[in-house]
Each structure stands twice: as C-alpha cells, then as structure tokens.
Amino acid sequence: MNRLIIIGNAFNLANSFKTSYADFLLFYLKKAFKECDVHNKYNDELINIVKHDNYTGIQNPDFTA
C-alpha cells in the first residue's frame, strides 16, 4: 500500500518561501511564455502556445521570470 504523509511545520511560510500552488502556477506559466517568446511556440502535456506574426511582446512589466 502506498501512502503520502504530509507534515507541515510552517517553515516555508515563516521564511517567505514561495511554495503555494499559485506560486507554482505563476512560475510554470512564466516559463512557458518565455520559451514561446524565444522559440515561437511552447508545447507540453498541459499547454500549447503558438506565437503569431502580429505578436508585439509581453506588455506587462511585472511578467518577468
């Protein structure tokens, strides 16, 4: 029988580590869009992104990896 036991001691929260699901999702999307910006496309098991000819770049200055 397989078991997963998660014990939380709030070490990550006390030290301001970005370990929430939202932090992971933002990291994942930044990585995907950055690779798409360089290679004109990004594809994995979860997402497929294609950059079109009229693309002018990421307009949000907070969107940096």
Highest mean pLDDT pick, 8-12, 18-22, 58-62: 18-22
Q: Nearest-CA neighbor of 37 among 2, 1, 63?
A: 63
Residue 43: in which H helix or E strand, if any? strand 41-43
What's the rounded Cα separation, in Å, for the pair 20 and 24? 6
Q: Tens digits of per-residue pLDDT, 35-62? A: 998 999 999 999 999 988 776 666 665 6
Q: Which amino acid is at 1?
A: M
Q: Tens digits of per-residue pLDDT, 26-36? A: 999 999 999 99
Question: What are the start-end ranges of the H helices in 1-65?
Answer: 11-14, 21-39
What end-to-end distance do the CA atoms of the chain give, in Å?
40
Q: What is the mean pLDDT of the chain?
A: 83
